[in-house]
Structure 1
């Protein structure tokens, strides 16, 4: 006697296309409201100028006495701190933004898929913030000290605030994305592109690639290159361990209990 096929848990949950568009609009509006609230709060305290002073602190601490950052554009003293405030507001509101993304896609996911997506959303957020914090507290101070010590004593470096802002934001993105290596490894293993055993075999190639990538995307100083390559290699190992864990706990029910003939 054959057993009846299990009922699809998503059956009957379909919505019209217009309803999806309306929900997407509402989710986007809520995400923008979260960013707007964060921007308003940061604009009051510590304020755009205070935020930029905080961003510039790792560099200013290693400038020669009496040297400060300069503005070569007329509106840079106003525009750049506002850009900094907007970026900080987005980062502060990022958990709320990701929650809206999760709430939009969750109804279309199976229960075992939800077990995978939610931890990945949380872990990717924490890893990105960790990469930014690592860049701010470790990389930028070390790089600034290296550059100042390497520069001739007859030169007094006074970086432009707009160029420094662009430079730091680029570094934040590079290190934030580099710290997402475990998430990328887990996703690739979970969708079947590679296996855990293949990742172990590719370990030496990844290490070489990490050092090449760090030499390309970071400034030409040893500190920032090593500060990017070494964490990427360590996070690769974390990704292999996490992939094994996720495979065990996010398997579809039919994978553990195949239907009877």
Structure 2
């Protein structure tokens, strides 16, 4: 296929992905209050236990409007991830051999699953623990003192939530990336194992940069990354064993063919 045909195909796949994201954006913007309620639920549950009337605030006239736009857009990206991955697969699949398609297809299926698992982990486990930790520093008022009470800004809260959901989702792609690198000959299980201590250090550094400055969020992201790194080493070893078996089988077939040709001669 000529280069111009590849570019036309690529443009078509990108256009479909963009259209899907735009359509999802308008759909999610029409139900923005429900998305807001879902994202704020972990915090609302904790505040409800303490009683009293609690609220979120915005301090600029346009803040709530643009916050809903941002949340709708990031939600559209999150949900459209499998469709975009499928478009990428349909673009590269025609140029692959059958055995290459069989090798890559499981990763394409597993990638969205891991992405959603990362988002689910932070929403259902990390958020409740982290929010409970932060809210524990509220101080009731007394004689001669003022209460210290949380009044979160809606933009700051939702931006933090979406950033963490995407950070965990992307971090869970680590086994996919490392295993594909191993298939391409860019790394080995022995090399990954020898760099384990550096991976642990960088996991905590990356978690400290991405997450809020509390131990719960940082450890909550770093520990899964380390576990995924260890799982990647195991997966790479399995890939290496499978590749070695395939190479031995291929060399055996070549020897049989050469022996047959020699006998016929």
| TM category, shorter | 0.7 to 0.9
Which of 38, 45, 51 is the aligned partner of 1:54?
A: 38
**Aligned counterparts of 2:239 and 2:247: Cα–Cα separation in 1:** 16
Q: Does 1:135 align with 2:157?
A: no
Larger Rg: 2
**Aligned counterparts of 1:175 and 1:94: Cα–Cα separation in 2:** 14
Q: Does 1:104 align with 2:91?
A: yes
- In the alignment, what sits opposite 1:230? 223
**Aligned counterparts of 1:217 and 1:81: Cα–Cα separation in 2:** 22
**Aligned counterparts of 1:255 and 1:109: Cα–Cα separation in 2:** 22
Alpha-carbon offset, residue 203 of structure 1: 2.5
Structure 2 CA distance for partners of 1:30 and 1:239, relative to 1, 3 Å: same
Unaligned runs of 5+ in 1: 1-14
Structure 2 CA distance for partners of 1:251 and 1:73, relative to 1, 3 Å: farther
**Aligned counterparts of 1:107 and 1:248: Cα–Cα separation in 2:** 27
Name the structure where helix makes up a greater proportion of residues: 2
Alpha-carbon offset, residue 135 of structure 1: 0.9
**Aligned counterparts of 1:159 and 1:142: Cα–Cα separation in 2:** 17
**Aligned counterparts of 1:123 and 1:157: Cα–Cα separation in 2:** 40
- In the alignment, what sits opposite 1:9? none
**Aligned counterparts of 1:157 and 1:224: Cα–Cα separation in 2:** 19
Number of positions where the alignment pairs a residue of Structure 1 with one of Structure 2: 245
**Aligned counterparts of 1:192 and 1:213: Cα–Cα separation in 2:** 26
- In the alignment, what sits opposite 1:67? 54
Q: Does 1:145 align with 2:110?
A: no
Which of 26, 30, 51 is the aligned partner of 2:16?
A: 30
- In the alignment, what sits opposite 1:194? 187
**Aligned counterparts of 1:87 and 1:213: Cα–Cα separation in 2:** 22
Alpha-carbon offset, residue 171 of structure 1: 1.1
Alignment RMSD (CA, Å): 2.4
Q: Does 1:203 align with 2:189?
A: no
Unaligned runs of 5+ in 2: 141-146, 259-265
**Could you tell me the TM-score, scaled by structure 1's length?**
0.83
| Contact 1:67 1:156 survives alignment (8 Å) | no
Alpha-carbon offset, residue 254 of structure 1: 6.2
**Aligned counterparts of 1:50 and 1:100: Cα–Cα separation in 2:** 29
**Aligned counterparts of 1:175 and 1:62: Cα–Cα separation in 2:** 22
**Aligned counterparts of 1:87 and 1:192: Cα–Cα separation in 2:** 35
| Contact 2:57 2:154 survives alignment (8 Å) | yes
Alpha-carbon offset, residue 60 of structure 1: 2.5
Alpha-carbon offset, residue 101 of structure 1: 0.6
Q: Which has the higher contact order (CA 8 A, sep 6+)?
A: 1
